[in-house]
Chain A
Amino acid sequence: MAKEKIVPAPDADSKPFWEACRDHKLKFQKCAACGEVRWPASILCPQCHCRDARWIEASGRGIIHTFVVYHQVFNPAFKDQIPYVVAVVELEEGPRLLTNIVDSPPESLSCDLPVEVVWDDISEEFSLPKFRPLPG
């Protein structure tokens, strides 16, 4: 029997991100001073240390910066998903997100491949942003 799904643990900084995910929106903080769009969420800009930021909605498109294929069960919650793909996706707006690539055989993937967000509703409270290759 597969164990219960592992869910994110939002903190004060990342709560708005995960709340937006529940509405199937990808939102990130954009620095009011230098314009850097950042992830993970934080109280100040890692580039210029400015505290003012607003949340913007990202397009959901990006490229695979890098990816790996899990062939062993590191946690029973993922036993039935082997082999699965974990990737770092670089979004058009700049931030990089650790995520999964879905709907595509692992051997068809490569670094810099264009991808778009798809949503995985894992519970009432949480939807995970995952990605699939752009058609064509």
Chain B
Amino acid sequence: MLDAGICNYVAISYGHSGLWGGGMRQLLFNTRPSEACFGHFGAVGRYALAAQRGMHEFSSGPETWKHIAMGQRKWANLNPAAIMHAKPMSEADYHGAPLVVEPFRLFDSCQMNDGGRAIIVTSAERARDLKHRPVLIMGMGQHNPSNEIAQARYLAGPTGAHKAGRAAFAMAGIGLDDVDACQIYDCFTYTVEITMQEYGFFGRGEGENWFQGGTIEPGGTMPVNTSGGQLSEAYFMGLTPIAEAVMQLMGRCGPRQLGPETRTREPQVILCSDNGGALQSHSCLIFGRG
């Protein structure tokens, strides 16, 4: 539409009242009677089913997920807008949190919150005349493998991230080595692990090693979810990762800004993911500094 001149600017917005409205609760508590009669409700149970299979097939598990939960919390501690801004998380906090749907504990799950996010899409040419440094969409890919969790053959991979990631990198004409940071859709800790594994950041089952030692934290070699993400900042569907990627590339992130301030690389390229259902649909977006 932008290319055809039908419109000049497109606003993509998302907002919800997750704490008191119906929408988020429906995601969490409602499901079809054929699942509810067995006591199976909503997103936590579905992703936990995937995570358990991941534990079985490639030794995923809490020893990997704690690095994701604690690493993202450190970013949230630098972000005044994050719900968990004032709450550091220790390893004892992570392991001591109540089990929700095992293998997931409380801090394996994203936030429930009120709020919203919006982004503006326009042509690169128009963007260059605007107030902020432009951010370019370098590549995108999508893959949607199934619509039934019980029939899914990919709970431990290959998920939609595998093909979607390849398509996005092919369009961008770059490789993994060119990525400076990632904003990964993180409804649950396992989602971050399986998504980054499918993109190829580490081999199958090598996540525990890869994440340990502060890889994704401030000062780390591959910062991930630098706002705190959905786990520790706030949940706005795919707009939590995308808005953060764009803000980081514009250089508008204050104390959590990638670069010298957080002892990280100044970002030229940021990789984003989004998925729907329980790993049933996947989008990968690669953004670059304009």
Q: Which A residues, 1 to 58, have Cβ-Cβ distances below 8 Å to chain B?
A: 5-9, 14, 39-40
A-B contact count (CB 8 A): 97
What is the CA–CA distance of A58 and B115 in the complex, to the nearest angstrom?
49
B150/A86 in contact, CB under 8 A = no
Whether B145 is near chain A, meaning CB under 8 Å from some CB there, is no
By beta carbon, the residue of chain A nearest B41 is A74
Mask of A103-124 contacts with B, CB within 8 angstroms, 1/0: 0001000111000000000100
B40/A71 in contact, CB under 8 A = no
Given known contacts A68-B102, A106-B102, is B48 in contact with A8 (CB within 8 Å)?
no
Q: Note all chain B residues with C-beta closer than 8 A to A75.
A: 29, 36, 39, 41
B29/A88 in contact, CB under 8 A = no
Q: Note all chain B residues with C-beta closer than 8 A to A126.
A: 37
Number of residues of chain B lying within 8 A (CB) of chain A: 32
Whether A96 is near chain B, meaning CB under 8 Å from some CB there, is yes
**One of B76-84, B93-101, B231-239, B254-262 at the interface:** B93-101
Number of residues of chain A lying within 8 A (CB) of chain B: 38
Which listed residue (A70, A96, A97, A122) contacts B101, Cβ 8 A? A70
Q: Note all chain A residues with C-beta closer than 8 A to B100.
A: 71-72
**One of B50-58, B66-74, B193-201, B266-274 at the interface:** B50-58
Q: Note all chain B residues with C-beta closer than 8 A to A39.
A: 150-151
Whether B103 is near chain A, meaning CB under 8 Å from some CB there, is yes
Q: Note all chain A residues with C-beta closer than 8 A to B52.
A: 66-68, 111
A9/B34 in contact, CB under 8 A = yes
B33/A69 in contact, CB under 8 A = no
What is the CA–CA distance of A110 and B36 in the complex, to the nearest angstrom?
23
Given known contacts A65-B53, A67-B52, is B99 in contact with A98 (CB within 8 Å)?
no
Q: Which B residues, 98 to 125, have Cβ-Cβ distances below 8 Å to chain A?
A: 98-103
Q: Note all chain A residues with C-beta closer than 8 A to B155.
A: 66
What is the CA–CA distance of A106 and B28 in the complex, to the nearest angstrom?
23
B37/A128 in contact, CB under 8 A = yes
By beta carbon, the residue of chain A nearest B28 is A74
B117 to chain A, nearest CB (A): 27
By beta carbon, the residue of chain A nearest B47 is A68
Whether B246 is near chain A, meaning CB under 8 Å from some CB there, is no
B39/A69 in contact, CB under 8 A = no
What is the CA–CA distance of A74 and B148 in the complex, to the nearest angstrom?
21
Q: Note all chain B residues with C-beta closer than 8 A to A128.
A: 37-38
A48 to chain B, nearest CB (A): 16
A86/B56 in contact, CB under 8 A = no
Which listed residue (A6, A70, A97, A111) contacts B53, Cβ 8 A? A111
Whether A81 is near chain B, meaning CB under 8 Å from some CB there, is yes
Q: Note all chain B residues with C-beta closer than 8 A to A5.
A: 37
A100/B39 in contact, CB under 8 A = yes
Which listed residue (B28, B32, B34, B101) contacts A71, Cβ 8 A? B101
Q: Note all chain A residues with C-beta closer than 8 A to B102.
A: 68-71, 83, 106
Which listed residue (A6, A81, A110) contacts B33, Cβ 8 A? A6
B48/A68 in contact, CB under 8 A = yes
Which listed residue (A86, A106, A111) contacts B39, Cβ 8 A? A86
A71/B98 in contact, CB under 8 A = yes
A78/B39 in contact, CB under 8 A = yes
A112/B56 in contact, CB under 8 A = yes
By beta carbon, the residue of chain A nearest B40 is A86
Task: Jot down 22 A-B pairs with beta carbons below 8 A, ordered by A.
Answer: A6-B37, A7-B37, A8-B33, A9-B34, A66-B49, A66-B56, A67-B49, A68-B45, A69-B101, A70-B101, A74-B42, A75-B29, A75-B36, A78-B39, A83-B102, A96-B151, A97-B150, A98-B150, A99-B38, A106-B102, A111-B52, A111-B57
Q: Which B residues have a C-beta under 8 Å from some C-beta of A? A: 28-29, 32-42, 45, 48-50, 52-53, 56-57, 98-103, 148-151, 155
7 interchain residue pairs of minimum CB distance: A111-B56, A69-B102, A74-B41, A9-B33, A66-B53, A71-B99, A68-B48
